Amino acid sequence: MMTDFQTLGLSAPLLRAVEAEGYTTPTPVQEQSIPPLLAGRDVLGVAQTGTGKTAAFALPVLQIMSRNRPQGRRKIRALVLSPTRELAAQIDERFSAYSEHLDIRHKVIFGGVNQNPQVRALERGLDILVATPGRLLDLINQGHIDITHVEFFVLDEADRMLDMGFIHDIKKVLKLLPKKRQNLLFSATMPSSIANLAGSFLSNAIKVDITPEEITVDRIDQKIMFLRKADKRRLLVKIIKQERVECGIVFTRTKHGANRLVKQLDQSGISAAAIHGNKSQGARTKALAGFKNGSIPILVATDIASRGIDVDGVTHVFNYDLPNEPESYVHRIGRTARAGRTGVAYGFCDDTESGYLVGIQQLIGKEIPVDSSHEFHFIGAIPKPGQKAGKVKDPNAPKKKQRQRNRSGGGGGRNGGGGRGGRNQSRSGQNSSNQGGNNRSRHHGNSRSQRRRDN
């Protein structure tokens, strides 16, 4: 039987919040981190964004904090350090969702914006502070922040922290924290520099390692098809009909896109159901049951929803939209060729997605064979020689946006545009804590100096 959140030991207000978010099954990092954290242990997590690691630390921290709330003025009892303002804002937004039914006050602070609203919030008193290192130290130095009552210290994306040159800031913060506290460190990778840093402040930590799923490449017949966005639907319908697909999953980037595609498939006589975060648990269970028993041949899913899909007989995976996170590609195509069977994975690449393809191919370390034997083949979607991984700049983007992007540095991703370099350049998280569930884009493109100033 699959674990549910209840068996992890979460309290009723948190279970309600998790249910409202549409989470049915804990992700591996949650399953492995939540019980030891609730038991008071330090945790060293090797996990990337997208694995559900925020809930893995936020839920137990909230639970323990709300169990024993001291009397009097609120003091900062949990400090979460994040390398970028976007990630910090996302974490804070998750705290809002998970603490919905708790008496917990939290706030995010980062550089590059006026400090006054942040100072005012600090003066009102907080339980949880999410911060980028530069602004945190700034406000500590000005006497606005006291971190001497911190019981939980979370260092998120530690590898990026070091990449961005924050090691000295982190050391300064560590010196100011009280000795007795619970520590959590998350990092996508574990080079020796991170292992050393972890060793310097974690004590007897439980190690949780969520390495990306191995691709069963041998048994998956991967194909890339270049085409215009407007032709994707017709090509999908054609393949589903030609190959008589009876058990296939189609991945779209957005929930809205999934809903629209289900309607369009229906108009073409193909029965499909959507499964994504906005669907109620009942609707998801029904869709999955129909898919499993064969009455619904096509499931249209977003990445997050795909986590719970564990169906053995999937013959086809369609990357209707190529994922902007290369790791998602691996996760998606791994839904087929399970239990020793074979499977086909089609990737539809339009001219805005060629950079995503570059990132995917860098991650998997090979070129995916191209299938151009279809009537929609479009050479404009093929990556240019030497093209960098990541989002393709839209030449038609409005002037204002372009200027904003230039200000933030532009350029390739981390590690010279490597496998993890494919994120969007959205600035939407910069001054609010209510970033939507769908907008999880993050910066990887800023130059180091710019990032340093921003934070």
Judged by the rule CB under 6 A, the positions of this chain that interact with ligand AMP are: 21, 23, 25-27, 30, 49-55, 304, 307, 437, 440
Q: How far is the CB of 336 from ligand AMP (least distance, A)?
A: 21
Q: How far is the CB of 97 from ligand AMP (least distance, A)?
A: 8
Query: Cβ closer to ligand AMP: 30 or 354?
Result: 30
CA-CA distance, 128 to 435, in Å (whole number)? 18
From residue 337, alpha-carbon distances to 242, 287, 354 in Å are 20, 21, 26
Query: Cβ closer to ligand AMP: 21 or 351?
Result: 21
Query: Cβ closer to ligand AMP: 138 or 156?
Result: 156
Query: Cβ closer to ligand AMP: 137 or 155?
Result: 155
Q: List the beta bridge partners of residue 107.
A: 129
Q: How far is the CB of 48 from ligand AMP (least distance, A)?
A: 7
Residue 177 neighbours by CB distance under 10 Å: 17
Residue 40 neighbours by CB distance under 10 Å: 9
CA-CA distance, 84 to 344, in Å (whole number)? 38
CA-CA distance, 368 to 347, in Å (whole number)? 9
CA atoms within 13 A on the CB side of 195: 5
C-alpha triplet 222, 29, 211: angle, nearest 5°: 40
Q: Is residue 81 classed as helix, strand or coil in its secondary structure?
A: strand
Dihedral (Cα; 137, 162, 39, 98), 10-degree rounding: 70
Q: How far is the CB of 92 from ligand AMP (least distance, A)?
A: 12
Q: How far is the CB of 53 from ligand AMP (least distance, A)?
A: 5
Stretch (H or E) spanning 451: helix 448-454
Q: How far is the CB of 22 from ligand AMP (least distance, A)?
A: 7
CA-CA distance, 55 to 376, in Å (whole number)? 42
CA-CA distance, 216 to 203, in Å (whole number)? 37
- The DSSP secondary-structure symbol of 170 reads H
Query: Cβ closer to ligand AMP: 391 or 440?
Result: 440
Q: How far is the CB of 91 from ligand AMP (least distance, A)?
A: 8
Query: Cβ closer to ligand AMP: 55 or 208?
Result: 55
Query: Cβ closer to ligand AMP: 139 or 188?
Result: 188
Q: How far is the CB of 25 from ligand AMP (least distance, A)?
A: 6
CA atoms within 13 A on the CB side of 432: 6
Query: Cβ closer to ligand AMP: 26 or 134?
Result: 26
Query: Cβ closer to ligand AMP: 20 or 230?
Result: 20
Query: Cβ closer to ligand AMP: 35 or 313?
Result: 35
Handedness of CA 301, 304, 310, 314 (dihedral sign): positive
Residue closest to 155 by CA, chosen among 236, 82, 49, 229: 82
CA-CA distance, 317 to 348, in Å (whole number)? 11
Place of tokens 């995976």: 317
